[in-house]
Amino acid sequence: ICSFVRSPKGFPKLKNDTFLRAARGEETEHTPVWCMRQAGRYLPEFRETRAAQDFFATCRSPKLCCELTLQPLRRFPLDAAIIFSDILVVPQALGMEVVMVPGKGPTFTEPLKEVEDLLKLRQKVDVTAELGYVFQAITLTRHSLEGRVPLIGFSGAPWTLMSYMIEGGGSTTMAKAKSWLYRHPEASHQLLRLLANVVTDYLVGQVAAGAQALQLFESHAGHLGPEQFQDFALPYIQDIAQAVKNKLKEEALPLVPMIIFAKDAHYALRDLANAGYEVVGLDWTIRPQEARAQTGKDVTLQGNLDPCALYAPKEKIGELVKKMLEGFGTQRYIANLGHGLYPDISPEHVGAFVEAVHAHSRHINKH
């Protein structure tokens, strides 16, 4: 199983690069597929591995992160692995305490309430010192994958992280966080800029550690309207893509494909397609043809089966996948769900989804 290897150099040769080729817009024999939250509670072995440990203690254990990342690949012929971690490790790196409360989810012991609270945050973050455990997990997992599939690294985007830091956890309205955007626009930008800088260094560090692609999660985009998205989300999404690419060049690191996934942000698809990412991820609330029309021919699309479709009988999953592939086309496309897997979805149905993508895309490509 996962034993720790210190040097990130000398990684095993990649055997299946279908996901990376699709991300770069190159031709593929089949449509690659992976699932958001593919390392998750829907797998009994995941629940078993996680049982004894606090959630964030698990995130800080490179060995456990490696094991959890590999579990779905032992079951399914997925075309990519995504490192097991959490977006809230970034606020932790800024000095905030986050605990996982059973039945409630991630909870900040002291959320940001007043503008003055920004002074409590670390203004300069040494990502290696604060998040080195993620880098170690990536290096270890990259070796342990033995070149089977590429490894994806990720981060939350600034607005999504800011909303958690102010709300103190999940929220249906994000009213506290949004009130900052209206009441304290300057302080909001100050916080978003700080987050963007840390996220940039964090993503570059993940590539240095061995990540072969990066995904930025703007999970709370749907709480913003077009104007607030333009002001408080998009500029930082664009800056991160540009800054990461510049730093990778400066540090002579591989220029890896980057994915932006802004949930419920179809009002901004044109802007997202021009934000500097190779891939735009989509949730399930938009038609494939419409997404293609809005994003043009120069980006790869990823998504967007409704996760609840996996509750359907297996034959039905196959039909839905076929329809999705016909809508997107099999090229410049990465199959995925429109959000993460839910904990009560049957692993067999996840397998049916993965197999249907491979079978139908090969069939469409032949004919």
Contact 156, 215 (CB under 8 A): no
In a domain, 309, yes or no: no
**C-alpha of 25 from chain center:** 19
Catalytic choice (17, 42, 79, 164) = 164
User: Would residue 347 count as lying in a domain?
Assistant: no
In angstroms, the CA 83 to CA 154 distance is 8
From the candidates 17, 21, 42, 50, which is the catalytic residue?
A: 50
Residues of the chain with pLDDT under 50: 4-7
Give the CATH number for residue 171.
3.20.20.210
220 class by beta-carbon count within 10 Å (0-12 exposed, 13-18 middle, 19+ buried)? buried
- Report the run of H or E that residue 358 belongs to, with start and end: helix 347-366
Number of independent structural domains in the chain: 1
Q: Is residue 344 part of a domain?
A: no
Which segments within the chain are labelled E, that is strand? 81-82, 98-101, 105-108, 151-156, 213-218, 258-262, 279-281, 300-305, 333-337
Whether the Cβ atoms of residue 43 and residue 71 lie closer than 8 Å to each other: yes
Please tell me the predicted confidence (pLDDT) of residue 102.
87
pLDDT at 7: 45
> What's the confidence (pLDDT) of residue 9?
67
Of 21, 37, 142, 148, which one is the catalytic site residue? Answer: 37
Domain with 219 in it: 37-281
85 within some domain: yes
Residue 56 lies in a domain: yes
Read off the pLDDT of residues 84-94 as tens digits, 9 standing for 90 and up: 999 999 999 99
Position 111 in a domain: yes
Tell me how far CA of residue 120 lies from CA of 91, 153, 166, 186, in angstroms. 12, 28, 13, 17
Catalytic option among 24, 41, 193, 362: 41
Whether 299 is covered by a domain: the verdict is no
What is the per-residue pLDDT for 255?
98
Query: For residue 103, what pLDDT is reported?
Result: 87
Q: Residue 33 has what DSSP assignment? A: B
* pLDDT of the residue at 8: 52
37 in catalytic set: yes
348 domain residue, yes or no: no
